[in-house]
Each structure stands twice: as C-alpha cells, then as structure tokens.
Amino acid sequence: MAPLPNYRPKQLSLGPLEAEILNIVWQLQKVTVKNVHDRILADPNRELAYTSVTTVLRRLTQKGWLECNKQGKAFYWQPLLTKQQAEVIFAHEQLQQFLKVGNPDVIAAFADSLNEADSAKIQAIAKRIEAARQAREEK
C-alpha cells in the first residue's frame, strides 16, 4: 500500500451521496455536473435533481476532496487525491481510532477473535512495521 499522503482533506466524513459522487469523479477524473448527473440517472430506478449534484460537488470541494476550475462557461471538478490515497487515509484514521482504545486487554480480545486469514494479515503487517522500524534506525 502507498505511504500516507501529505495532503489530507479538511473533513474526512462523507455521506452516501457524497461517496457515490466522489467515486464517479475518481472514475472519470474530470467532471461537470452534467457528467455526474447523467451517470447517476443511467440507473432507471434513480432520481436526483441536477441542483443536488451541484450542491454535493460544492460540498466535496469545501471538504477538500475536489477542486473546481472554470473553463469557458463550464465548471469542472477534479479529485485532489486518488482513490488509493483516500483508502490509505481512511485506513490510517481507523487504525488511530482503534489504538485510542489503549486498553491492551481489549485489543488482545480482538486479536483472539480473528480467523486464520485475518491473523496472517496481522502477522504480515507486524513484519512490515518491523522492517520500517529497522529501515529508520539504519538512516
């Protein structure tokens, strides 16, 4: 997985529609309101006002997920992070929340409940952490 990005959005929390629209922006890379609106309405079971898409794109911009640029008469939105960078940030945030528990007994109880595949993942993570520590010490 990629390292923790230097850039971090002002607000990490995303509502369901925000997450859906952000995923569309990641797929298309550069969008107008119409691009997003058309993509959502491609599902015949969906209804969504054009103005709602505009509102969500603006909200994602305010939260620091997107940037907006005007080209001619059109406004275009682009992501400030890749999807992979966002996944790294979310994973880091979840890990920080988990570690805030701070009680070794609670964390040990969690570790005891892991299946074999999850235990193998934890062991692989521990090896990567140890390798990163050794690399820092060698510098």
pLDDT tier at 2 (50, 70, 90 boundaries)? low
Nearest to 69 by CA among 56, 82, 79, 59: 79
pLDDT of residue 1: 52
- Rounded to whole angstroms, the Cα distance separating 10 from 62 reads 8
pLDDT of residue 3: 77
Q: What is the pTM of this model?
A: 0.79
Give the pLDDT confidence of 48-58 residue by residue, as tens digits. Answer: 999 999 999 99
